[in-house]
Amino acid sequence: MPTSPSKKHVVLIDQMFAEWQSIGRASPAVAALERVATRDPVLSELVVGTGDRSACCPTPCDLLARMHRARGRAEREEAAHLVRILLREADAEPFLQRLLVQALVPGLITVARKLQWGRGGPWLDGEEFFGELLSTTWFVLQEWAGQDRRYAVLDLLSAIRCRVRRQLFRAKDFQGRTVSLHDAADREARSETDLEQLARLLIDLRLEGMRTDEVQVLYSQHVLGYSIAELAAATGRDRRALYARRDRGRRRLYA
């Protein structure tokens, strides 16, 4: 049964970080980032700079460090925007897929915790399970490269989580549940379809005027499965404020 390692115990994450420190500063990586920066004003300001050296991110390593340091609302929105742009341009610049994988590592760790590091699944330990998450991340990025998604970060993590969770459910059913593997697969497929429909509905409601903060709370809780307590810890926002946004959004949703 897989163990539940913390971030520092996942050797694969350390290896990725060490590799990234090299390739994220290499000339081809810098050139790819500069080409993409010409197609987005926010990214251009960060890469080229506006005279403020402390805000300049001339290499992918610098840009990623800024994204991972994001704390306030404005910084988190900037980081989310950057993921959206990088995904949109990843079809033309394949290196950006590697940058996106590295950018998603904190989110993947959260996904791993939500799935109990693959406990009960076919993986030998948490290390192997995290490798499965990374492999799935690569597949999703290859499929989605070139797409312009308004909620790119949430969409990516949701897709990765659903695909790996499907493997986990099938393995648990195979290992002795009374429900057949075929029925379990059908049930999970229906569950994922329901989640996708809810996600599309929330995006449609946003376009129709629902407030962005209400959409984000509903999406995070009902599509990604995070609790209000987890959202409060991740965003630094007061629980009561998050509950209020969720309740307002539900009233709009059920209106």
For residue range 20-74, list pLDDT tens digits in order.
999 999 999 999 999 999 999 999 999 987 655 566 899 999 999 999 999 888 8
Domain boundary, last residue among 97, 125, 160:
160
Boundaries of domain holding 212: 178-255
Q: Structural domain tally of the chain?
A: 2
Q: How far apart are CA 78 and CA 85, in angstroms?
A: 11
Domain identity same for 88 and 9: yes
98 or 10, greater pLDDT:
98
222 or 130, greater pLDDT:
130
* pLDDT for res 167: 83
Domain identity same for 183 and 106: no
pTM listed for this prediction = 0.68
Q: Which residue has the tokens 């404005």?
A: 74
Q: How far apart are CA 191 and CA 168, in angstroms?
A: 14
Domain identity same for 96 and 213: no
The burial class, CB within 10 Å (0-12 / 13-18 / 19+), for 178 is exposed
Q: Side chain identity at 40, as an amino acid letter?
A: D
Residue 204 has pLDDT above 70, yes or no: no
The answer to whether residue 168 sits within a structural domain is no
Average pLDDT, the chain: 80
Which band of pLDDT confidence, cut at 50, 70 and 90, is reported for residue 189?
Answer: very low
The answer to whether residue 167 sits within a structural domain is no
Domain identity same for 144 and 209: no
Domain identity same for 6 and 83: yes
Domain identity same for 151 and 203: no
Residue 187 has pLDDT above 50, yes or no: no
The answer to whether residue 202 sits within a structural domain is yes
Q: How far apart are CA 33 and CA 18, in angstroms?
A: 20
Domain identity same for 9 and 100: yes
Domain identity same for 146 and 190: no
Taking the alpha carbons at both ends of the chain, their separation in whole angstroms is 46
For residue 174, give both structure tokens. Answer: 């195979």
Lowest mean pLDDT among 148-152, 156-160, 162-166: 162-166
pLDDT digits (tens, 9 = 90+) for 121-136: 888 889 999 999 999 9
Calculate what percentage of the chain has a pLDDT beyond 90: 45
Q: How far apart are CA 56 and CA 41, in angstroms?
A: 13
Q: Side chain identity at 87, as an amino acid letter?
A: L
Task: CATH number of the domain at 231, please.
Answer: 1.10.10
Domain boundary, last residue among 134, 160, 186:
160
Domain identity same for 112 and 11: yes
The answer to whether residue 118 sits within a structural domain is yes
The answer to whether residue 173 sits within a structural domain is no
198 or 142, greater pLDDT:
142
